[in-house]
Amino acid sequence: MKIIVLNCGSSSIKYQLFQMGTKAVLAKGVVEKIGLHGSFIKNERNDGDKLLLEGDIYDHQIGIEYVLGILTSEKHGSIKSFDEIDAVGHRVVHGGEKFNSSVLISDEVIKMIEDCIEIAPLHGPPNLKGIYAMQALLPNIPEVVTFDTAFHQTMPDYAYMYAIPYSLYKKYGIRRYGFHGSSHRYVSQRACEILNVDYNTQRIITCHLGNGASITAIKYGQSIDTSMGMTPLEGLIMGTRCGDMDLGVLTFLMTREELDIGTANTLVNKHSGMLGITGVSSDMREIIAEMENGNERAKLGLEMFYYRIKKYIGSYAAAMGGVDIVVFTGGIGENSDYSRAEIAKDFEFMGLEFDAEKNNGVHGKEKIISKDTSKVKMLVVPTNEELVIAEDTKTIIENQRTQNAAKLMDY
């Protein structure tokens, strides 16, 4: 079975073509700067063949048309025709309260995703563009959507509610939804496979630390709390997002600096976080290099970033009545041994003994980084959200085929 996974952002499309039996990625790539000057497509085949196409790409449908052309091209393609594609899996950021798992696309599902746009105005429209484009280009191929929010739909109400008038929750669906769900799900399950323990018996804290960062408490197989909220702004300090902050700061600044809503939104989403504090960069590699050169604000930013994560780990351990496993993932979590060491120190009080030697030099690979004697295990697990989407798509398509076969038997 071959499955294409699509991740459509406002001006980009990331894609991977999977051969499901072996889980091999036959080709992957990205379309960038859609609707802007200087659009381009990069495709990489699993035998190392690389292609860069430059030229204006006006919208997502044209971008996807090019991608399909590349994937089936004689010179740079990976398949002979579209008939070889069994299904398409889409990443959709916000599924609101309507979706707690991946689903097969139907008109009803599309309507429900459209209804979620009000609470996800930035992410919903480009996600839908990818779905509309695929329906137009490959109308006979089944499509599945996987939601970033779905994994967190198991949170109890006292964890997802905000303390604002209850009527506003009812009216607008204002509550914590959480994001990076496929990543938290994948790395928590994978950690249990590596440790050879039953997922449904473990209390796990997963730290997804990338440009966007979130942390999740998973108790006995279910997400019970997560740091991102109704939008991906809440929680940890991120590359350019402030994370948790007294809301009074925003209203103060809006008044004193006479900021309109758009400017205030840009301030906390694009000019804050590590970039705002350090004034150097949002990129962790550059910030660590600056800190090593003696830059005090880079040092302060890093201390704030690590401190916030430590506070969340402590509070999630309390929320679960203990913790068995802590997992690092995302660009920083997977690659920065320095960051992991700073976060992991001083947790002996709760049974976590960090092993600095095992941690040193671990970049982008699975590794247990706690001491053998440690009661709480700590691991690095590179995330693979695309594989989660591909596997969910495969499961749903196979179920549908079984149901169709059963229906035929009835006749």
Catalytic residues: 148
For residues 344 to 363, the per-residue mask of contacts with ligand ADP, x marking binding by CB under 6 A and - elsewhere, is -------------------x
The two three-digit tokens of residue 20, written as one number: 């499901």
Residue 265 touches ligand ADP, criterion: CB under 6 A: no
Supply the minimum distance, in Å, between the C-beta of residue 106 and ligand ADP: 30
Nearer to ligand ADP, 187 or 284 (CB): 284
Supply the minimum distance, in Å, between the C-beta of residue 331 and ligand ADP: 2
Angle (CA) 257-260-233 rounded to 5° is: 95
Nearer to ligand ADP, 25 or 105 (CB): 25
Supply the minimum distance, in Å, between the C-beta of residue 281 and ligand ADP: 8
For residues 308 to 337, the per-residue mask of contacts with ligand ADP, x marking binding by CB under 6 A and - elsewhere, is ----------------------xxx--xx-
- Binders of ligand ADP: how many residues, by CB under 6 A? 14
Residue 231 corresponds to which amino acid? T
Are the C-beta atoms of 219 and 203 separated by less than 8 Å? yes
Q: Please state, in angstroms and rounded to a whole number, the distance separating the CA atoms of residues 393 and 85.
A: 12
Tell which residue, 187, 241, 244, has the closest CA to residue 216.
Answer: 187
Nearer to ligand ADP, 82 or 338 (CB): 338
For residues 27 to 66, the per-residue mask of contacts with ligand ADP, x marking binding by CB under 6 A and - elsewhere, is ----------------------------------------
Query: Judged by CB under 6 A, which of 9, 77, 124, 212 binds ligand ADP?
Result: 212
Q: Please state, in angstroms and rounded to a whole number, the distance separating the CA atoms of residues 256 and 78.
A: 57
Stretch that binds ligand ADP, among 101-109, 114-122, 156-164, 279-287 (CB under 6 A): 279-287
Q: Please state, in angstroms and rounded to a whole number, the distance separating the CA atoms of residues 226 and 407.
A: 41
Nearer to ligand ADP, 286 or 353 (CB): 286
> Beta strand pairing status for 87-92 and 103-104?
unpaired
Residue 284 touches ligand ADP, criterion: CB under 6 A: yes
Residue 283 touches ligand ADP, criterion: CB under 6 A: yes
Stretch that binds ligand ADP, among 46-54, 186-194, 210-218, 295-303 (CB under 6 A): 210-218
What is the distance in angstroms between the CA of the first residue and the CA of the last residue of the chain? 27
DSSP string, 98-130: T-SS-EE--HHHHHHHHHGGGG-TTTHHHHHHH
For residues 369 to 388, the per-residue mask of contacts with ligand ADP, x marking binding by CB under 6 A and - elsewhere, is --------------------
361 sits in the region (left: phi over 0; alpha: psi -120 to 50; else beta) called: left
Supply the minimum distance, in Å, between the C-beta of residue 28 and ligand ADP: 14
Supply the minimum distance, in Å, between the C-beta of residue 213 and ligand ADP: 7
Residue 342 touches ligand ADP, criterion: CB under 6 A: no
Residue 285 touches ligand ADP, criterion: CB under 6 A: yes
Are the C-beta atoms of 212 and 186 separated by less than 8 Å? no
CA dist list (Å): 270 to 239, 242, 253:
8, 9, 16
Residue 278 touches ligand ADP, criterion: CB under 6 A: no
Stretch that binds ligand ADP, among 22-30, 130-138, 207-215, 264-272 (CB under 6 A): 207-215
Nearer to ligand ADP, 30 or 259 (CB): 30
Q: Please state, in angstroms and rounded to a whole number, the distance separating the CA atoms of residues 112 and 117.
A: 9
Q: Phi/psi of residue 120, each to 5°?
A: -140, 65
Residues facing 338 on adjacent strands: none
CA dist list (Å): 234 to 179, 243, 246, 268, 317:
10, 4, 11, 10, 19
Q: In the bound complex, which residue of the shown chain has the CB atom lying closest to ligand ADP?
A: 331
Q: Please state, in angstroms and rounded to a whole number, the distance separating the CA atoms of residues 378 and 316.
A: 15
- What distance lies between CA 239 and its chain's CA centroid? 15
Interface residues with ligand ADP (CB under 6 A)?
210-212, 239, 283-285, 288, 330-332, 335-336, 363
